[in-house]
Amino acid sequence: MKIALLQMDLVVGDLAGNRQKITNRVLEAADNGADLCVTSELAICGYPPRDLLLQEGFVERCLETVQSLAAELAGAPPVLVGCPSVREAHTGKPLSNSAALCRGGTIEAMFHKSLLPTYDVFDERRYFEPSPQADRFQCNGRTVGVTICEDIWNDPDFWPHPLYAEDPIKAFEAKSADYLVNLSASPFSIGKQVFRQKMVACLARKYDTPIIFSNQVGGNDDLVFDGRSFAVAADGGLLARAPGFREAILYVDPDAAASPDIPEADMCREAEVWEALRLGLVDYTAKCGFSSVLLGLSGGIDSSVTAAVAVDALGPENVFGVLMPSPYTSRASIEDAELLAESLGIETATLPIEPLMQAFDSSLAPALGEEKGKLTRENIQARIRGNLLMAVSNERRAMLMSTGNKSELSVGYCTIYGDMNGGLNVLSDVPKTLVFSLARWLNQTRGKEVIPERVITKPPSAELSPNQKDQDSLPPYDQLDRILERYVELRQSVETIASHGKEEGYDLETVERVARLVKIAEFKRRQAAPGIKITDRAFGTGWRMPLAAKW
């Protein structure tokens, strides 16, 4: 039996566009002899639809769209389409997260998700009621069990602490399904694909059943879905895998031998992150209605890497760089910004800010006096630059990209209404040490200095005061990032982190200081541009720390 996994980049809420894309892919799969087609989770409306599900009539329109899709594909192979559906019960949530079996011109059956995640970026219990059990159908003489995403992520023999008391896969052991298919919308994080395959392989071996995993691809808001749909045999061996970070149709015969041309999926960390950032930016700009972007070019590592991602994603003709030197900007930084722009082939403009700094001094003198504090003077510069960038953004109708990294955002080493301005921050979940690694990786893989070597080797500096260096205010970034990984991503206590300080190069006082900075910067992060999630815990929809609290 030939199963086609439709790995598609879908637009949340675009029912007509998603329907047309599904139709085109099913017809293409039919021409290639597919016996069954499988979309990703909630494909008809795109994932995650969030509170669109609560809008009056939205779910009904989703179902109408699936019905018209089924009628249009009456002569095509059966297709499992991810969609929300309305429950008939009078208790519980009114909706189910479902898969519609479209066959013979109608919706023949509906299958519903049993396990509804409510951790990290997921909040499905807000909308859906869980199904008491998974189910199956017959196709080409085979029994096909249908699961949706989280349903396969709770095997008590794999997870030391399962999140749910129920295990919907156990039901298929008694029902003897020939195959299990899984409609998924599993977001990207570093190294997750290797983990997914290991988990699914263990499940396949446990039940002696092939498992087919159809994943969404593309960027939606702060999430990137890497695709890499795959299938494993009953012995856990990999049968086939789709490419990552792009649309594809993967054809799988669970009864046949493994495909001889399985693409590489186990990329190095930098390659995975780069692809996620690139795809996230491509889709965020397009789905928000932008065709071009701009950013400030300081000659530093963050703006350089951000510009390089933007050029890779959108092309140099759609990226505009703005140099805004102050009296404290070194000649080397200006040269590095100009070299970067030349290397990337992007247009630039230079807007010196000294006259505006003088105007601010004059205007603020009645309120602040002639001498202002160091932080006030620095923030004025950042906010002047933020205003200039927003003006250019307005006039060019281009989206402003902010350029701060996760390390800075964690500890508040950024200026609200200044360098934090922007419609998207591609580096907001990328620690500073990884930003440097991305720059080195990019130069190595491209075989040239895309990013000038001096940008990578010089000490990081905001250049807001004479001879300023980041490490005048912060611990060395290698230490800071180790502390932040433990505190932010692993949720470890100050005491636990400090216990690792001897081997990792920091002391209790440093850990306490970093933890305090993370806490007091929460109000800034609430007002920051959205970012692209690449780690297991980002400052986005999965970060829900209180503002007015002691933690």
Catalytic residues: 41, 113, 149
Unique residue bearing structure tokens 């603020």: 364
169 near 203, Cβ under 8 Å?
Answer: yes
Q: Which two tokens stand for residue 453?
A: 């070597």
Please list, in sequence order, all residues whose beta carbon lies within 8 angstroms of the beta carbon of residue 93, skipping any fewer than 6 positions away.
Answer: 87, 125, 127, 128, 129
What span, in angstroms and rounded, lies between the C-alpha atoms of 169 and 133? 9
Would you tell me how many other CB atoms lie within 10 Å of the CB of residue 225? Answer: 29
Query: SS in 3 state form for 151-180?
Result: HHCCCCCCCCCCCCCCCCCHHHHHHCCCEE
* Termini Cα distance of the chain: 55
Could you tell me if 475 and 514 are in contact, meaning their C-beta atoms sit under 8 angstroms apart? yes
Beta-strand relationship, 211-215 and 179-184: parallel
* Residue 534 and residue 190 in contact, taking contact as beta carbons nearer than 8 Å: yes
Instruction: Give counts: helices (H), strands (E), the chain.
Output: 17, 18
Is the sign of the CA dihedral 138, 142, 147, 149 positive or negative? negative
Query: What is the sign, positive or negative, of the torsion defined by CA atoms of 367, 369, 375, 379?
Result: positive
Exposed, middle or buried, 478 (CB in 10 Å: 0-12/13-18/19+)? middle
- On the question of a cis peptide bond just before residue 48, with omega within 30 degrees of 0, the verdict is yes
Query: Cα(66)–Cα(60) distance, rounded to whole angstroms?
Result: 10
H-type alpha helices, 162-321: 170-175, 192-207, 269-287, 301-314
- Among residues 177, 122, 174, the alpha carbon closest in space to that of 146 is found at 177
CB atoms within 10 A of CB 235: 10
Distance between CA 439 and CA 430 in Å, rounded?
12
Please tell me the distance from the alpha carbon of residue 169 to that of residue 159, in angstroms, as a whole number. 14
3 state SS of 506: coil
> Considering only CA atoms, which of 134, 133, 162 is closest in space to residue 146?
134
Question: Taking each helix axis from N to C terminus, what angle separates 301-314 and 331-344, rounded to the nearest 10 degrees?
Answer: 10
